[in-house]
């Protein structure tokens, strides 16, 4: 019996778990294994088992920037839980948040506590780990503006280190954090802000999102990163592509950089729509857009998204 199968038999991880319900697109296949470790000791045991079996690993946050292939993922998906869902305000004014903490919750709870800075997270439906890894941001702030350090597990060495934000090469939707690394927690600097001011900022962010983004639909946020000095949504809109469809996925009428899925759409429809829109934008403008959504599992590389 393999090391991972022993963990399945012992009930600490699960086999063949559908991932669709764990992503905002709500489609995609299953993970060969899914682990939801409670703390660092449990996480390290799972990572050691995967390494012993030579099995590939990946981290899943709240699946809000992710398209999982219909064929699923033939490896171990780690979704941090338990102690990784806690956050604490420290005596020095910093906030330490586990990677599994939902960003809107962190925004609301810190605002309630008179702690300012992280209000912008109210509109981003991801996790702290996902936000650090993507340098998520909006409304004029990004994660790198507030991040002091991140606790990171190197999956191949099974070693954990606290890394200063300045060593993470953070820029617009970019960090040096690679597939072989897992963010375990983040330390943020904060400012003092009266509760009513923080809550007013959050209300304004929610209002802006309601007015400008396709709420209540199946999507994973922006399909493309903005190219230098322009907006991907503006460029797509300028080509008249709002409403353009591949299979069950459509360029949103509300925000051209959001690709909305019908209930019966497939992950491969997103892949093909991303490739199609990129080709059209490149042909018209010469700019090659870079995907912001991430794809997990097998997709047809020859059609390249």
Ligand X SMILES: Cc1cc2nc3c(=O)[nH]c(=O)nc-3n(C[C@H](O)[C@H](O)[C@H](O)COP(=O)(O)OP(=O)(O)OC[C@H]3O[C@@H](n4cnc5c(N)ncnc54)[C@H](O)[C@@H]3O)c2cc1C
Provide the binding-site residues for ligand X, judged by CB under 6 A: 24, 58-66, 99, 123-127, 129-131, 133-134, 136-138, 177, 182-183, 219-221, 294
Residue among 161 and 240 whose Cβ is closer to ligand X: 161
Residue among 166 and 212 whose Cβ is closer to ligand X: 212
Residue among 24 and 190 whose Cβ is closer to ligand X: 24
Q: Has 70 been annotated as catalytic?
A: no
Residue among 143 and 190 whose Cβ is closer to ligand X: 143
Residues contacting residue 200 through CB under 8 Å, at least 6 positions apart: none
Burial class (CB in 10 A: 0-12, 13-18, 19+), 76: buried
| 4 close to 49: Cβ distance less than 8 angstroms | yes
| 153 close to 160: Cβ distance less than 8 angstroms | yes
Give the shortest CB-89-to-ligand X separation in angstroms. 21
Q: Beta strand pairing status for 294-296 and 66-68? A: parallel
In Å, the largest CA–CA distance within the chain is 57
Burial class (CB in 10 A: 0-12, 13-18, 19+), 221: buried
Catalytic residue among 185, 222, 252, 266: 222
Catalytic residue among 62, 173, 193, 278: 173
Q: Has 64 been annotated as catalytic?
A: no
CA angle, residues 289, 272, 295, in degrees to nearest 5: 75
Residue among 65 and 94 whose Cβ is closer to ligand X: 65
| 259 close to 67: Cβ distance less than 8 angstroms | no
Give the shortest CB-286-to-ligand X separation in angstroms. 26
The beta-carbon contacts of 84-87 under 8 Å, at least 24 apart in sequence, are 84/37, 84/38, 84/39, 84/129, 84/184, 84/185, 87/128
Q: Has 254 been annotated as catalytic?
A: no
Give the shortest CB-31-to-ligand X separation in angstroms. 12
Give the shortest CB-91-to-ligand X separation in angstroms. 26
Q: Residues 205, 207, 213, 217: what is their CA dihedral angle, to the nearest 10 degrees? A: 110
Give the shortest CB-134-to-ligand X separation in angstroms. 4
The residues annotated as belonging to the active site are: 173, 222, 292
């Amino acid at each position: 019996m393999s090391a991972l199968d022993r963990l399945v038999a012992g009930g600490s991880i699960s086999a063949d778990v559908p991932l669709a319900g764990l992503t905002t697109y709500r489609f995609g296949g299953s993970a060969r294994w899914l682990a939801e470790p409670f703390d660092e000791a449990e996480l390290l045991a799972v990572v050691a088992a995967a390494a012993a079996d030579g099995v590939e690993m990946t981290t899943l946050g709240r699946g809000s920037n992710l398209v999982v292939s219909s064929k699923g993922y033939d490896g171990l998906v780690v979704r941090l839980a338990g102690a990784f869902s806690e956050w604490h305000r420290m005596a020095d004014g910093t906030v330490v948040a586990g990677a599994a903490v939902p960003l809107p919750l962190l925004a609301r709870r810190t605002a309630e506590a008179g702690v300012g800075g992280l209000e912008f997270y109210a509109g981003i439906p991801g996790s702290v780990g996902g936000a650090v890894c993507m340098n998520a941001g909006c409304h004029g702030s990004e994660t790198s503006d507030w991040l002091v350090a991140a606790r990171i597990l190197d999956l191949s060495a099974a070693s954990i280190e606290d890394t200063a934000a300045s060593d993470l090469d953070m820029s617009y939707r970019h960090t040096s954090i690679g597939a072989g690394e897992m963010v375990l927690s983040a330390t943020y600097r904060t400012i003092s802000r009266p509760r009513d001011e923080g809550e007013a900022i959050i209300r304004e962010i929610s209002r802006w999102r309601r007015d400008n983004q396709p709420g209540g639909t199946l999507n994973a946020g922006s399909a493309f990163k903005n190219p230098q000095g322009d907006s991907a949504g503006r460029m797509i809109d300028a080509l008249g592509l709002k409403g353009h469809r591949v299979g069950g996925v459509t360029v949103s009428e509300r925000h051209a950089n959001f690709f909305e899925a019908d209930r019966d759409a497939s992950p491969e429809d997103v892949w093909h729509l991303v490739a199609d829109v990129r080709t059209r934008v490149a042909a018209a403008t010469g700019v090659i857009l870079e995907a912001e959504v991430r794809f997990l599992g097998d997709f047809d590389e020859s059609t390249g998204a």
